[in-house]
Amino acid sequence: MKYQQLENLESGWKWKYLVKKHREGELITRYVEASAAQE
């Protein structure tokens, strides 16, 4: 049972990490596009 809980916790952490990375990636993409548009 404890192992199952640990697995759920880990997948939750991975999910949060992926969402965070995705958001950061979106911001970077927007920034790059804005910079390219200004040139």
According to the model, what pLDDT value does residue 26 have? 92
Does 15 fall in a domain?
Answer: yes
Does 1 fall in a domain?
Answer: no
According to the model, what pLDDT value does residue 1 have? 63
pLDDT per position as a tens digit, 1-39? 677 787 888 888 889 999 999 999 999 899 889 988 987
The whole-angstrom separation of Cα 30 and Cα 39 is: 15
Does 2 fall in a domain?
Answer: no
For residue 25, the one-letter residue type is G
The whole-angstrom separation of Cα 12 and Cα 6 is: 10
According to the model, what pLDDT value does residue 19 have? 92
According to the model, what pLDDT value does residue 38 have? 84
Split into its structural domains, the chain has a count of 1
Segments forming the whole domain that contains residue 33:
7-37
Residues in the chain: 39
Q: What is the pTM (predicted TM-score) of this model?
A: 0.51
Does 28 fall in a domain?
Answer: yes
